[in-house]
Each structure stands twice: as structure tokens, then as C-alpha cells.
Amino acid sequence: MERIAAYARGAQARRRRARKRLHAYFATLFPSLCPHHRHHLVFFFNPLLPSWINFPIVLFRDMGLAREYEFLTEIGLGPRNVGGYINGVWKACGPVVSTVNPANDQVIAEVVEASIEEYEEGMQACFDSAKIWMQVPAPKRGEIVRQIGDALRDKLPQLGRVVSLEMGKILPEGIGEVQEIIDMCDFAVGLSRQLNGSIIPSERPNHMMLEMWNPLGVVGVITAFNFPCAVLGWNACLALVCGNCVVWKGAPTTPLVTIAMTKVGLMVQQTVNERYGKCLLELSGNNAIIVMDDADIQLAVRSVLFAAVGTAGQRCTTCRRLLLHESIYQKVLDQLIEVYKQVKVGDPLEKGTLLGPLHTAASRNNFKNGIEVIKSQGGKILTGGSVIESDGYFVQPTIVEISPSADVVKEELFAPVLYVMKFQNLKEAIKINNSVPQGLSSSIFTRRPDIIFKWIGPLGSDCGIVNVNIPTNGAEIGGAFGGEKATGGGREAGSDSWKQYMRRSTCTINYGSELPLAQGINFG
């Protein structure tokens, strides 16, 4: 018995030593897997065989991911994830937060947030790295961004699926959002060879004037929940090829997002202004579509449906207000109500779904309370207007007939609620369009060139995005994205938005031996 006990003790010791070696071995195989997750590796081996014969069969013990979320492992995610990537290492020891599937109110996974100390460490690493990164030639920086785009392409379906799962937008929109950041990578690669300055003729002989664009150093990006990765792409891709390092803060899920983000934006602007820094704000939108009496009504109805219902009304470019010429008012409204009744509401990952859930329970409650405010201000619910009883945060797509002067029209409910109103002529329609504090996106449906050019001219829309015969949402990356007034005035993505991520220097070079002064000044 003693010999058997001694043999058993020896076998246990061998198993412990082997397990320790294997943990070390798999730490080298899976460096991105945190020790907590490596602890769940289960090894099967025969302790009686020589160590060189033992080949471990590695299985993952059930770590809490539901079967429908198992695809997350394909992109390196598990039931508990480290939320900070600092100085080349995944690390975080702050609070643990849960991410919830808005379609069924079930926890998807947990994320360990970075601590204040880790944030400071990351910022210092960014400032140190920026000194090196800004000296790398811009086309070489573009090559790195190209590789980022290729890596995203390889995981496009999985990444699009996780965007839809966590945010609640339908799968085609989730995949489209990831495609947007891939497109931004491609755009930035080309841009990396076109960060051009200007040569300016000098009034002085033997002098040359030119403009130089240099990196800012470190760029911080704060993104909202509704576009968790696309907005990062708009900013980070440009900032990187411009020679900056980037710090990204993803969105906490909070109620009253639009109001909160606007207030946060104002605080950010004030704080940055105090140190004379540069600030790019893209805040709230309260966007209108105008349908003139000569419009293609079928085209307008399809556009309004996507603009008002897409992403469950949670885009900053969502159509909130529909302005219909009085002569076609009822005709357009009847068609729109009919297509609204055909909208499939359900799981955003299921094929055919057009309207997924709102992002949070608080958003659903905000919708419910907002409907009561609408009714109290004279709004008439034409279709929808109710919460859908389910485990998820679903609401009905809603159309409301209301006066353009109602106070609630001036605000964003950030839900699939569309206000409809009449107008008599173009001048009145433009006045209504411009009557809200926000100025992000706008669109008009007409076939008349004179109306089009008035609409896009100095007495037309006061928004940053002024469309014709297309929805207010779904902007391409090639144009500058952003708005005026309470929207913040910033511009992201295409055109010359890259200039906001750099500082401009005007350089005058004297290559002669004389010192002529500008404006013909003779100073002794």
C-alpha cells in the first residue's frame, strides 16, 4: 500500500510539473490570451509515458459564452475580456462591466476596464511613441494603415456580426460599418502620398514662401455607441497617416445619449480650448427631408424609410423631420404609412429584419416617455408609438403628425420617430429646415434645377450635409462629414478633413544676401 501511495504521490507531482510546463508552453502559443483564460485550459495526458511522447489534447472548458456567441472566439473574444491595449500589451485592472445583447437583454460578455494609472501609462507611451512615429515617412505610415485594413477584411463577417450583436443594428448595417473603416484605410493609404502644402509667390526677391504640414502628436478619439468602429476609422486612419498616435475611448452605454454627448462635447471643447488645443466635435443632428410637389414620390418614400427606420433611428444622420408640400402631403403619407406597416422588427442578426432593438433599456424608456411628451404638445400618432413587449428593447417605428413649432421637434429623441409636417413653398420649407439648433444633414426631393441650386446655395440649407434626391444618412467617406451650429462644426473622413489632424506652418526662406522687407518697409 505504501508503494502504491508513493507511486500515486509521484504521479500527482509529475502531473503538476507537466501542467506547469504546458501552461508556460501555451503562454508562448497564445500570448494574447490572459492568464485568467489560460487557467481554463484542460490538458489530457498519460503521466506514465516519457515526457517527449506526451502530446497534449487541448480543450477549452466552458467559460460562459452562450452557443450563439461562440463566433466571438474567432476574433479573440471570450466571456471576460481585457479592455485596455497599452504600450503594446493588453492589460486592465479597473472595474468590470457587462455588455448586453439589446435583442434579448442577456449578458454577452464582460470587459475589464483600464484603471486611471493604466490610462496615464498609456498616454505616456503615446507621447513617447509619437516622437518616433511622426518621423516615419508618410507613405510608410500609409503602408501600416493598409495592413490594418487587410486584417479587418480577413475578419469582416465576424466583426460585422459583433457590431450588430452588441449595438443592435441589423447585420447588413453592422457589416457595412466595418466595411466603412476598411474603406477609410484604403482612402488613407492614398492620402499618405498627398499631404501636400503650397508654394506661395513672394513679393521679395530671392525669397521663397511655402506651407508645411506637420503632425499634432497625439490625437484622442471619443466615439458614441451607434457607430462603435466607423467613427474611429474616420479619425484614426487619417490621424495615423498624418503622423499622430491615437488614443481611443469607446462609448459607455448611457441613456439620453444625444443630450449627454452634446454636454460632454461642450465640456471637451472648453477643456481643450483652455490649453489652446484643437477640437473636432460631431454632436447631435435633427435632420429634415423636404419633398417638393414635383418629386419622384416612390424614390422619396424609399429614401425616407431607410433614413428614418435604419439603425432604429439611432444614427446622427437619421431623418427626424419630414416636410411635405401640401399638394402631395396625403399621397406621400399614405404610401409611407403602408410601408411602415411592412417593416420586419426582430433579431438584427436574422435575415430580412429591417428594425432591430434600441441599444439599451434606458433608450426604450426614453422612447416611451418621449411619446407622452409628443402627445402633450399636440402630436398625433399616425402609426406605431408603442413599446413592443419582449425581452429585448424593441419599439414600433413611429410616424407623428405635428406642428414644426412644437418644442419637442427641436430635440432628438434618438429613436425611430418621424415628425411629418406641411409647407406651402420652398422658402417656408427652408425656414423650417433651418429652425432647429442642430445643423448636420438635410435633403430635398425635386427635379427642378432652380430649386436644387437655391437649396445648396447661400439662402438654402444651413447644414454641413446638403443632399438632393437621396436620404439624409448613408454618407460616403470621400466627402467631409460633419455639421454646423449645435452639431459642432467639425469635419471628418474625406475631402481635406486631414488638415484638422495636422498643424500648418508658413515658411519664408531667404536664399539671397540682401534683406528686403515686406510692404516695402525701409528700416535703416
Alpha-carbon span 160 to 349, nearest angstrom? 10
List pLDDT tens digits, range 442-469. 999 999 999 999 999 999 999 999 999 9
Mean pLDDT of 431-438: 97
Percent of the chain at pLDDT exceeding 90: 69
Question: CA-CA distance, 233 to 53, in Å (whole number)?
Answer: 49
C-alpha cell read off for 311: 439603425
Residue 25 has pLDDT above 90, yes or no: no
Q: What is the 3-state secondary structure (H, E, C) of 244-284?
A: CEEEEECCCCCCCHHHHHHHHHHHHHHHHHHCCCCCCCCCC
More confident of the two residues 195 and 228: 195
Pairing of strands 465-468, 441-445: parallel
Residue 201 has pLDDT above 90, yes or no: yes
Q: In the structure, what pLDDT confidence band is assigned to residue 33 with cuts at 50, 70 and 90?
A: very low
Write the pLDDT tens digit of every residue in 162-194: 999 999 999 999 999 999 999 999 999 999 999
Q: Whole-angstrom Cα distance, residue 285 to residue 406?
A: 17
Task: Pick the range with the lowest mean pLDDT from 73-82, 132-141, 315-324, 459-468.
Answer: 73-82
Q: What's the confidence (pLDDT) of residue 10? A: 55
Question: According to the model, what pLDDT value does residue 270 have?
Answer: 75
326 in active site: no
- How do beta strands 417-423 and 465-468 pair? unpaired
| 301-339 tens-digit pLDDT | 999 999 999 999 999 999 999 999 999 999 999 999 999
pLDDT at 268: 64
pLDDT-derived band at 18 (thresholds 50, 70, 90) equals very low
Instruction: Determine if residue 496 is left, alpha or beta; phi over 0 gives left, psi from -120 to 50 gives alpha, anything else beta.
Output: alpha
Specify the pLDDT at position 67. Answer: 83
| pLDDT value for 224 | 86
Catalytic residue among 118, 173, 177, 282: 282
Q: List, for residues 471-519, the tens digit of each pLDDT value.
A: 999 999 999 999 999 888 889 999 999 999 999 999 999 999 999 999 9
In the predicted model, what is the mean pLDDT of residues 399-416?
A: 96
Q: Average model confidence (pLDDT) for the chain?
A: 86
Which has the closest alpha carbon to 436: 483, 477, 480?
483
Output the pLDDT for position 489: 85
| Average pLDDT of the residues in 275-300 | 90
Q: Is the pLDDT of residue 20 over 60?
A: no
Residue 255 has pLDDT above 50, yes or no: no
Identify whether the C-beta of residue 287 lies closer than 8 Å to the C-beta of residue 486.
no
CA torsion 196-199-200-201 (nearest 10°) is: -170
Query: Comparing 136-140, 226-230, 248-252, 510-514, which segment has the lowest mean pLDDT?
Result: 248-252
Query: 58 falls in which pLDDT band (50, 70, 90)?
Result: very low
